[in-house]
A and B are shown apart, each in its own frame.
Chain A
Amino acid sequence: MKITREDVLRVADLAYLELSESELETYRAQIDEILEYIGKLNELDTSNVAPMAQVLSDDQTADATLREDIHVPSIVAADALKHAPDPEPPFFRVPKVIER
C-alpha cells in the first residue's frame, strides 16, 4: 500500500478540503492504485536529467516578454466585489480570525 488513510487525512488538511468518511476510503484506494501505476517512472534513471518546469522557448523568456512597469487601469474594486459571497465594500468580509 502506497498511501494510508492517515496520509489522505493529512493531505486533505493541507489542502483545506473536508472529506466524508466514504470519500476518504474511496480516494485512498483509487489514489493508491494511481500511485502504484506512477511507480513505473522508477524504471528510468533520471539522475543526470535536469527537471523541466515549463516549456518556454527563447522568445518567451522574461527578457523578451517583461513589460515596462507602467501604471495602467485594472479591474475596479466595485466589479470585483459585485459577486463576492459577503462583500463589505471596499472589503471582502470573512469570519473573525482570532488564532490559527
Chain B
Amino acid sequence: MTNWTISSVRSALTAKKLSARELAADFFKRIDAQNPTLNAYLTLSPERAYAQADRIDDLIAGNKPLPPLAGVPVAIKDVLSTRGIRTTCGSKILKNHYPAYDATAVERLDAAGAVLLGKTNCDEFAMGSSNENSAYGPVKNPLALDRVPGGSSGGSAAVVAAGLAVASLGTDTGGSIRQPGALCGIPAMMGSYGRVSRYGLIAFASSLDRIGPFATSVHDVAAVLQTIAGRDPRDSTSTTAPVPDYTSEITKPIRGLRVGIPKDYFAEGIDRGVLAKVEAGIALLKSIGCELVDIRMPHTDYAIATYYIIATAEASSNLARYDGVRYGLRVDDPTLLGMYRKTRGAGFGPEVKRRIVLGTYVLSAGYYDAYYLKGQKVRALIAQDFRDAFRKVDAIVTPTSPIPAFKLGEKTNDPLQMYLADIYTVTGSLAGVPGISVPCGKTPQEKLPVGFQIFGPAFAEARVLQLAHAFEQAGGANL
C-alpha cells in the first residue's frame, strides 16, 4: 500500500478498508522512517491531522456525503501560513513563528477534507533552485539521495515523490514548483497569476508569487488546483473568472491542438540527455494528434536578467517587515535601528541577504531607471512574446530545466550559475501564464527524471491540463 492517489484513498475509505485515522497514522509512520534521511518535513501537525481524520471518519460512519478530498494526506510548503502550526519559511528569522490564520489555499484544502500532515522544507523565503538555502539543512532527492530535489519547493516535491503525502502545495516565483517537480519526477503546476489567492502566502515577490500543487498524476494535480483556485476577497489580485471543473476537462480530446516549439528554448546549455527526452516528448505529442508549429520567442535570452531585477527588488521591499518588532527573531540592541540591523543580519541567510542587497541597489536613487525600470520594460517584451505566440498556437512546450537533478553542493558557490538554470521557467513567471511540468522519462546515463513543460495562455489551465493528461496517458513518463 504505497502508491495512494486521491481516488484510491476515497474508494478505500468508502469501502471501509481502513479509516482516515489509520491512513494518517500509516503516513506518519512512513514519515518517521524516511524523514530523517530526506529532511523534507520541517514540522509535523499530527493533532490537526487526526482531528480532521476523525471528522471524516464520523462522516463515513454516519453515511454522510464526503467532501472531494476527504481523508487525503497532504503537505504544505513552509511559506504558507497555517494557524497555530509553526511556519518558518526555511528561515532562522521565523524560527518561532506561529501564524494566527490559515492561508486561503490551506483553508480550502481543509474545507475539502484533506488531512494536513505537516510543513515542508524549502529554500529560505523561497529563494533558490536547490533547497540548499534552507536554514534547516537541504532536502535530499528521494530518487537519488546525493542530489538536490530542486527548489525552492524541494520538500513539497520530495514528500510526494517519496510517498510521504498524496499531494502537496508549493509556491512558484521563477520556477519553484515546476523545477522541483521535474527533478523529482512528478507533475507540478502553477496556475495563471491571479488563479489562486495569495492570502497567507508569506511574500517573496508579489507580482510573481503563485501557489500550486504537486501530486503523482495530472488528475490529482487538477483536483487540488480546482480546490484552491477561485476568487478570494482577501487577495485583490485573485481573479473573478469562474473555475472550470478541471478533473472532467482533462479528458477532453487534444487532437488538432497546435503546439508551439520555441527554437529559443533549445539553444546551447541544455543537457544532451534532457534534450533527447524532451524531443521524444514532442514526437509523442505529434503521434497523439497535436500539430507542431515552430515559433520564435525572441526575448527569452533576457528573461533571467529581467527576473533577477524584478524578483530581488520586490523581495527587498517585502522583506523589510522582518524587523524584530512584531514576530520572529529579535537581537537586542540599545537603539531601535541597531536592533533592526542586528536582527536582520543574524536572522537572514546568505542568499536572502544577497538578494536584499541587490534588490535595494536596483531600486536605489541613481540606479532605478537603469535597472528596475529597464527590467519592467523588458518584462513587457517577454509578455508580448507570449501573446504573439498564442495568436499562432494553443500551447507552448519546452524543457522544464536544462539540467537534471545535480549533486548537493555542486553549485552553491556560484549564485549566477544557479540563477541561469531557471531559464525555461522564469519566462512564464514574468508573463503571468499557467505552466505545468510533467515527467518525460529519465536521462539515459544517470537515470534522472526529466521534466516536460507546457505553457498555455492566461487562464487556459484546462487546456494545459488536457495536454499534460494526454501526454501522461500516452506514456510520457516512460519515454
Cβ contact within 8 Å between B357 and A12: yes
Q: Which of B337, B346, B358, B375 contacts A41 (CB 8 A)?
A: B375
- Contact residues, B357-384 vs A (CB, 8 A): 357-358, 360-361, 364, 371, 373-381, 383
In the bound complex, CA of A12 to CA of B332 (Å):
19
Cβ contact within 8 Å between B360 and A15: yes
In the bound complex, CA of A33 to CA of B416 (Å):
8
Cβ contact within 8 Å between A34 and B339: no
Q: Mark A1-35, 1 if CB is under 8 A from B, else 0.
A: 00100011011101111111001001100110111
A60 → B minimal CB distance (Å): 5
Q: Which residues of A contact B304 (CB under 8 A)?
A: 37
Cβ contact within 8 Å between B364 and A18: no
Q: Which residues of A contact B380 (CB under 8 A)?
A: 49-52
In the bound complex, CA of A31 to CA of B200 (Å):
31
In the bound complex, CA of A17 to CA of B348 (Å):
9
Cβ contact within 8 Å between B240 and A59: yes
Q: Which residues of A contact B308 (CB under 8 A)?
A: 34, 38
Cβ contact within 8 Å between A83 and B327: yes
A40 interfacial by beta-carbon distance below 8 Å: yes
- Report whether over half of chain B's contact residues are helix, strand or loop; otherwise say mixed: helix
Q: Which residues of A contact B237 (CB under 8 A)?
A: 54, 56, 60, 65
Of the candidate stretches B45-53, B95-103, B141-149, B258-266, the one touching chain A is B95-103
Q: Which residues of A contact B326 (CB under 8 A)?
A: 80, 84, 92
B406 interfacial by beta-carbon distance below 8 Å: no
Among residues of A, the one whose C-beta sits closest to the C-beta of B458 is: A57
Cβ contact within 8 Å between B416 and A30: yes
A2 → B minimal CB distance (Å): 10
A71 interfacial by beta-carbon distance below 8 Å: no
B271 → A minimal CB distance (Å): 21
Among residues of A, the one whose C-beta sits closest to the C-beta of B371 is: A38
Q: Which residues of A contact B342 (CB under 8 A)?
A: 18
B309 interfacial by beta-carbon distance below 8 Å: yes
Q: Which of A31, A33, A53, A97 contacts B361 (CB 8 A)?
A: A31
Q: A7-B361, A8-B357 are in contact. Are A37 and B207 (CB under 8 A)?
A: no
Cβ contact within 8 Å between B334 and A59: no
B108 interfacial by beta-carbon distance below 8 Å: no
Q: A7-B361, A59-B241 are in contact. Are A41 and B305 (CB under 8 A)?
A: yes
Cβ contact within 8 Å between A14 and B354: no
Cβ contact within 8 Å between A16 and B377: no
Q: Which of B239, B329, B377, B419 contacts A60 (CB 8 A)?
A: B239
Cβ contact within 8 Å between A75 and B100: yes
In the bound complex, CA of A80 to CA of B81 (Å):
13
A79 interfacial by beta-carbon distance below 8 Å: yes
Cβ contact within 8 Å between A34 and B358: yes
B399 interfacial by beta-carbon distance below 8 Å: no
Q: A34-B308, A51-B377, A86-B330 are in contact. Are A18 and B357 (CB under 8 A)?
A: no
Cβ contact within 8 Å between B240 and A64: yes
B212 interfacial by beta-carbon distance below 8 Å: no
- Contact residues, A40-78 vs B (CB, 8 A): 40-44, 46, 49-57, 59-60, 62, 64-67, 75
Cβ contact within 8 Å between A31 and B207: no
A85 interfacial by beta-carbon distance below 8 Å: yes
Q: List 17 A-B contacts (CB under 8 A).
A: A3-B361, A8-B357, A12-B357, A15-B316, A17-B353, A18-B346, A27-B354, A41-B305, A46-B374, A49-B381, A52-B379, A52-B380, A60-B238, A65-B240, A83-B96, A84-B326, A95-B332
Across chains A and B, which 4 residue pairs bring their CB atoms closest together, nearest first? A18-B345, A55-B432, A51-B376, A85-B330
